[in-house]
Amino acid sequence: MNNRSLEILEESIEPSGKWISLEIANDSIYLEFRDVQLGRPQNNKVLEIAIRFANNAFICFFYNEIWDIEFLKNYDFSNQSFFGDCSYKVKKIKFQDFNYLDEISQKFNKEKIFPPHDDFDVYNLRNDFFLIFELDKIAICVSGNEMDFFNEFERLNDDLIKELSNQWILYFLDYCNKTKMRKDSMCEDFLLK
């Protein structure tokens, strides 16, 4: 995955995206986001993207108050697994950004890492890929030596991400031309840069 594709994914999730699902199973962590600006919505269908981290994967939750991560109470420590649906607005999201990781670590005073590692240091990442995103009251860092992206139909590569981004821009421009006829909240959140 090249840097431009990661930037496109950041730009497509951040303005209107919501984090809707987390699954931790074996050595994989799956995150799902909804209302991403990637592709062309059809028949009022919601645009979603899933991100999978694998091979020595971990997830770290940054928080200030324990009840902010209450949704993790169903984590199965014996099987190192978790599945949960949620709906949190994404305030900011970054791939491979150590400066943002430092910023997050200063903003929040507590952290919880899954699966638990005794010798693990989130500030000394040894994995190939990582993602950090901030919600209203928590931030999340996910990392692994493998990182894959999926939409509803297929695994995404650089070319597909670029194509879906172009489809979104065409949809947005079409929306701007017909704005008096219908409203689309994802387009209302999108600002041309």
pLDDT at residue 19 tops 80: yes
- Whether residue 98 is predicted with pLDDT greater than 60 in this model: the reply is yes
Tell me: pLDDT of 155 over 90. yes
Q: What is the pTM of this model?
A: 0.86
Which tokens hold the place of 180? 């008096």
Please spell the DSSP secondary structure of 102-135, one letter per residue: HHHHHH-SEEEEES--SS--TTS--SSEEEEEE-
Q: Which of the pair, 118 or 134, is modelled with greater confidence?
A: 134
Rounded CA gap, 171 and 77, in Å? 44
Task: Express each pLDDT in 54-95 by its tens digit.
Answer: 998 989 999 999 999 988 888 887 777 888 888 999 999 999
